[in-house]
Chains A and B, each alone.
Chain A
């Protein structure tokens, strides 16, 4: 069983999203990016196409596809723009999936139809100003049960999709007590947008991902009903570990898209641009550079396909997901740097997509676990000491 070919339906999904990205995203994204605007119109159209419900069963308003279908869509969107891709990634992998996976019937019925149609967006509040991948140790946010109400206090940061006009809920992790072994008990709680005590900060000014919505959140005696607990009390850590493993595959897909988008742009440019009396694509120095870019995109794609295949087969895939994320984000950063070089001075101009790719690539080596964290996880999987 070695086969990385897509079946006809996956191929058609990929082609459809590719066409959407070229026809609808590419013409408008440059201006939106300059103005740092959230792409509401694109999100609405993506919702109509069912992209936000791709891996969710039809009975909950989804498309009945799987996580790999989502990854294919992310790659094709990422090939044209990362902000749009990451809005979808966070909306599905961090917004809808935890509700689908861990929610009870009432929570699913309340939130999933809107999340799947893209009418509302979900966010996941894990990272805090003083703690990222060092959870649970670094986590400070607390939730205390007061009768039948959770009272949440703390700060979350870098939270994608948390402050749009259509944000419906933010799922936050919080310390809800102490376990018998003395370690903190972590749980996950749904905080509907607009809940008193939840303050969404100003949009954060970022180096890239300009059209993606990112905020710091303050939770100040924020009260939500006890039934907003998502899944079992004390299972929050296990829940988000799984969400992170899967999220790494999704980020790898976005990264492969960016890496491939760099190849696309270079191929177009080197045929048109003349230097020393010929098209610059005739120079071996640039041919080799572009060949290397294609190699990186291709090998990274195989890595995320493999991780996704293991995930869908229900097999352990921590190692594969980390490898895919590491290889793909490196491919994105390396290709963005090379593509910018191929474009010369125009690569430094915002009117060409490669400049946007360059700015967007860096975060891929940071979000969902830095490259260093991926290496650490891979080393652990190899049995090296923690």
Chain B
């Protein structure tokens, strides 16, 4: 089983995150980078499948040099090797362009199964899995809370508002996961030391048969036109209990569709 996990380095949600005023892209230098949390679950699931069935886990990331930290994290957890798609031409690529670049890289690497988190904590488009599956012409099984490999098929429990759907598709396939699926391991020191020696292949746009004019901020089909800081949180509603506090609180929750 040849598994490729797509991971993304995102700014630490605990640090202050800003868009740059000049090109309206994320200021990645200003914030500490971390592996996107949902991608940790993707790495863990890939490792569990490998441990149960054998095979190899390759990590694929697209991002600047700094994203090598996130590759190292995935390798420390136990992935076997990595591919780092890094090229100044890719800066500012939107979801469509990113999926085009990753799909080309995936074709070059080859795969039976592609696993990724169902969304990133920075851009939160949540569309990458669908775009990859479409571009690669393989089934997409999204929002997986459980994954089972059975011969040439993959079965997932797809999380929904009402519970889950059981979905099945043939391999090769793209699977996106949600955090219910497992508990990501912490890297051991042995894993951390071993990661040093694992191969990391760097690919540029020219290495994946992609036209540099098709990617990057200047060529992006979608543009960030304007942005504004999130408004400060408004003052809450205070319910004074004069005998009907419980009912008022329940009405409030109902009005917000919490109950």
Show the binding face of A for B, using Cβ within 8 Å.
8-9, 12-13, 16, 19-20, 45, 48-51, 54, 58, 63-65, 69
Contact = CB atoms under 8 A, between A and B. Distances in A.
Given A12-B72, A12-B76, A50 B188 contact: yes
A65 B186 contact: no
Contacts of B76: 12, 16
Interface residues of B, number: 12
A58 B194 CA distance: 12
Contacts of A64: 189-190, 193
A50 B193 CA distance: 12
Secondary structure class of chain B's binding surface, majority of residues: helix
Contacts of A45: 186
A12 B186 contact: no
Contact of B192 (A9, A19, A51, A58): A9
Contact of A63 (B73, B185, B188, B196): B188
A54 B73 CA distance: 19
A12 B185 contact: no
A72 to B, nearest CB: 10
Given A9-B196, A12-B72, A12-B76, A54 B186 contact: no
Contact of A16 (B187, B193, B196): B187
A343 B244 CA distance: 37
9 contacts: A9-B192, A12-B72, A16-B192, A20-B186, A48-B188, A49-B187, A50-B189, A63-B190, A69-B189
Interface string B213-240: 0000000000000000000000000000
Given A13-B192, A16-B76, A49-B185, 12 more contacts: A8-B72, A9-B189, A9-B196, A12-B72, A12-B76, A13-B189, A19-B186, A48-B188, A49-B186, A49-B187, A50-B189, A64-B190
A51 B192 CA distance: 12
Nearest to A7: B196
Contacts of A16: 76, 186-187, 192
A69 B76 CA distance: 16
Contacts of A13: 189, 192
A45 B185 CA distance: 9
A69 B189 CA distance: 9
Nearest to A70: B189
Contacts of A12: 72-73, 76, 187, 192
Contacts of B73: 12
Contacts of A65: 189, 193
A50 B185 contact: no
A63 B189 contact: yes
